[in-house]
Structure 1
Amino acid sequence: SQGGGGGCAGTGLFPGPPPGGTQAGALLAAPGRAVAPAGSAPGGAGPAGRMWLRRRVLRPPAPPYGHVCQVGDPTLRARAAPVEPARVRGAEVQALIRALVRAMRRHGCVALSAPQVGVPLRVFVAEYPERLCAELPARERQARQVAPFPLRVFVNPAMRVLDARLVSFPEGCQSVSGFSACVARYQAVQVSGLDADGEPTTWQASGWAARIIQHEMDHLEGVLYIDKMESRTFLNLRWAELNE
């Protein structure tokens, strides 16, 4: 199991594919689908066959992934395990942090948690650069209390509520790609944990930054925004385009 609070499988910090290269997530994501016997290439020379051959030669990718895991991946539903503080500055955790930052920036999102790159550990990164903030109309930035903030790294974060007023706005998630829905979140929170150097760090945030923190803390508990959304507001972001 890629597991929850009990830690990670394998000899290292990150879980890898089991012997033979079959990902448990792939089996769980396709119930009832026939699995090709070893030595046979499904799909012949087509795309599926080429992918099969590539995986036979290169082996399946191992976490932390460069892509963002999608809903259905069991890692997104597991409670993430804490990182031993003494290992924060070690090569594996530092590689995870770098992978999270790269993936976050590559996909144009403002935060990303370790489970979203296939690693069930209590780590998240967040960053809202000025250029992304400027893409929102001024009226929307004001209404949602959106403001830029520099890169933040949290290992073993703990959150407490500073302002329990609930504010509902649409939000999305790279792990539920292409959709959004309104979610009620606390107005202000504080998150404390360890930074990338293993030093204590605290962030008090309100408005949109507080929403981002709550969203990422949910990921570490195996919770997605679709579990908390106002279901009648759930929408496909391309619905109007598809009607044209």
Structure 2
Amino acid sequence: MIAVSPPTPFTPAQLRERVQEILAAGALPPIVQAGHPVLRQHAAAVEGQISDTELKQLIVLMRNVMHEAPGVGLAAPQIGIPLQLAVLEDQFDVDPEAAAVRHRTPLDFVAILNPRYAPLGMDTAAFFEGCLSLSGLQAVVVRHERVLLHYETPEGLGREQAFEGWQARIVQHETDHVQGTLYVDRAELRSLSSNAEYAANWAEPGIGKARAALGFLHGHP
């Protein structure tokens, strides 16, 4: 069972001050690493704490940080801002076999505010997953194969959108971030591997070899 994260102690004024400080720095902020309290707090809903201009600037900054990392998603808490905001984009050139097994298709850039998701159906998928806030590690996570995402656009419009496959995994991962949940909270910890060990031993489209050798998810399809 996933622990319930405490709400961020930041006031609206403190949130705006933090955003303004990061925007004024003139450089890409570092990605916060596991152990920082902001990653274990339920972020504040975006409710006008910052101006529309500041929000747009923050989204551009987060997209740049995501690209620089590089990654396919980034949540505001990962740069020290406890707001329910994330950016998603997956345009990586992936091996066709891996893309087919993982149901991975390109995801156009999108910024999501105040996201929450619900599963569509009972199907799940298990794959290795990493996180920019747990540098150098990967682990297998069982996630819903299809989800319905409820979110708001930067313009304040409510949206519902269905995602499946790897796109659904990205959506779940980033939405978890704004609720103070990290992928290791959901992971099969016997699968936890350094990037080097993953590359040396388990880099295949699926998880069959790692599951057999490391002893996790017995009986999972």
Query: Which whole-Å deviations, capped at 9, do the CAs of 1:114-158 have from their partners, x for residues lacking one?
Result: 1001011111110111xx1x2x21111000000002111111112
Is the Cα–Cα contact under 8 Å of residues 4 and 120 in structure 1 kept in the other structure? Answer: no
1:92 Cα deviation (Å)? 2.8
Q: Which of these residues, 62, 77, 81, is aligned with residue 40 of structure 2?
A: 77
1:241 Cα deviation (Å)? 8.3
Is the Cα–Cα contact under 8 Å of residues 88 and 196 in structure 1 kept in the other structure? Answer: no
**C-alpha distance in 1 between matches for 2:8 and 2:190:** 37
SS in 1 for 2:74: strand
Q: Which amino acid aligns with 1:102?
A: N
> TM-score scaled to structure 1, two decimals?
0.71
1:6 Cα deviation (Å)? 5.8
Between the two proteins, the alignment pairs up a number of residues equal to 192
**C-alpha distance in 1 between matches for 2:154 and 2:69:** 21
Q: Which of these residues, 11, 14, 28, is aligned with residue 13 of structure 2?
A: 11
SS in 1 for 2:77: helix
Q: Which amino acid aligns with 2:137?
A: F
SS in 2 for 1:204: strand
**C-alpha distance in 1 between matches for 2:115 and 2:198:** 39
Query: Which whole-Å deviations, capped at 9, do the CAs of 1:59-108 have from their partners, x for residues lacking one?
Result: xx944662211111110011111011x56762332232122111111111
1:182 Cα deviation (Å)? 0.3
**C-alpha distance in 2 between matches for 1:227 and 1:63:** 29
**C-alpha distance in 2 between matches for 1:4 and 1:196:** 25
Work out which of the two has the higher radius of gyration on C-alpha atoms and give 1 or 2: 1
Q: In the alignment, which residue of structure 2 is the partner of 1:111?
A: 73
Q: Which amino acid aligns with 1:203?
A: Q
1:175 and 2:129 matched:
no
1:126 and 2:84 matched:
no
Distance 1:6 1:215, change over 3 A: closer
1:202 and 2:160 matched:
yes
SS in 2 for 1:11: helix
Is the Cα–Cα contact under 8 Å of residues 8 and 38 in structure 2 kept in the other structure? Answer: no
Query: Which whole-Å deviations, capped at 9, do the CAs of 1:198-243 have from their partners, x for residues lacking one?
Result: 222222100000011111111111111111111111000123889x
**C-alpha distance in 1 between matches for 2:135 and 2:158:** 33
Is the Cα–Cα contact under 8 Å of residues 89 and 196 in structure 1 kept in the other structure? Answer: no
Runs of 4+ in 1 over 6 A off after TM superposition: none
**C-alpha distance in 2 between matches for 1:148 and 1:82:** 28
**C-alpha distance in 1 between matches for 2:106 and 2:185:** 27
Q: In the alignment, which residue of structure 1 is the partner of 2:219?
A: none
Q: Which amino acid aligns with 1:78?
A: Q
* Residues 18-37 of structure 1 aligned to structure 2 (within 5 Å): none
Is the Cα–Cα contact under 8 Å of residues 73 and 89 in structure 2 kept in the other structure? Answer: yes
Q: Which amino acid aligns with 1:139?
A: E
1:195 Cα deviation (Å)? 1.1
Is the Cα–Cα contact under 8 Å of residues 189 and 204 in structure 1 kept in the other structure? Answer: yes
